[in-house]
Copies of this chain bind each other. A is one copy, B any other.
Amino acid sequence: MSCQLSLNLRLKDGSSFSNFLAGPNREVLERLRTAVVTATTREKASEPMMYLWGAEGSGKTHLLQAACRLAQELGIAPVYVPLADVVELTPSLLEGVETAPLVCLDDVERAAGRKEWETALFSLVERLRAVGGMLVIGAIAPPDRLGLKLPDLVSRLAWGTGYALQPLDDVQKLEAVRLRAQHRGFEMPEDVARYILSRYPRDLPSLFDLLDRIDQASLTQQRRVTIPFLRRLEELGRENVETV
């Protein structure tokens, strides 16, 4: 099934609860984790529906993927559906999804104004409720501010407990980058993290992409991550662009 496929693809980079720098979002993390444990180890989730919203880079996708990862570790097969990636496809891929004990729907704002998708989401929420599965939603704003056309879908989404994710400040972003590096198995000295924050876009998705590239380069070249190493990487980046 397509959404299973995207689950595998997107979990690759290793978003988990233990590499999430919670900062101001500690309570959301704890509640989500507890709900996933109860949903997978007992009959019912402590919270059958959680609605996480916040700006780009506030950690929604990370938390949804961490929930899926934990569920997998606990022995169940969750479903992760990133609407940003699948909304051009037919919503029939949501058929039967409710048999999973945990369903995570990400980028739900992308359904707005697409009648077939809005109807399909409404139906999925109903089916999940009927079978007692757990649903976690990630979206850019509260249900009534997504631009959805189907009032019933808005009201169903509002059933879930809503959590507003707070963005990290610069000190926390620095910690988040270093935590992520540590979980990938390399140490990022504080001066390197500061250097990165001072020179690159400070949104976390870009920072984590950069971390990927650094990790890959450091593995291939068998070099420690230092400021001179980063400078060399930047030069190489420029040379590659120029020769294209």
- A residues engaging B (CB < 8 A)? 8-9, 12, 16-18, 30, 33-34, 37, 41, 66, 69-70, 72-75, 182, 184-185, 216, 219-220
Contact = CB atoms under 8 A, between A and B. Distances in A.
A208 to B, nearest CB: 16
A220 B216 CA distance: 8
A75 B8 contact: no
Contacts of A9: 185
Grouping DSSP codes into helix (H, G, I), strand (E, B) and loop, the A interface class, with mixed when no group exceeds half, is helix
B18 A73 contact: yes
Of A16, A30, A73, the most chain B CB neighbours within 10 A belong to A73
14 contacts: A8-B182, A8-B185, A12-B184, A12-B185, A16-B73, A17-B73, A18-B73, A18-B75, A33-B73, A33-B74, A37-B41, A69-B73, A70-B74, A220-B220
A147 to B, nearest CB: 34
A220 B220 CA distance: 8
Copies of this protein chain in the complex: 2
Nearest 8 interchain pairs by C-beta: A12-B185, A18-B72, A17-B73, A70-B73, A18-B73, A220-B220, A16-B73, A37-B41
Contacts of A72: 18
Nearest to A9: B185
A110 to B, nearest CB: 24
Contacts of A37: 37, 41, 74
Contacts of A216: 219
A12 B19 CA distance: 13
A219 B41 CA distance: 37
Nearest to A219: B216
Given A12-B185, A33-B74, A220-B220, 15 more contacts: A8-B182, A8-B185, A9-B185, A12-B184, A16-B73, A17-B74, A17-B75, A18-B72, A18-B73, A33-B73, A34-B41, A37-B74, A69-B73, A70-B74, A73-B73
Contacts of A34: 41
A5 to B, nearest CB: 11
Query: Which of A8, A72, A74, A182 gathers most chain B CB within 10 Å?
Result: A74
A86 to B, nearest CB: 19
A185 B5 CA distance: 11
A128 to B, nearest CB: 23
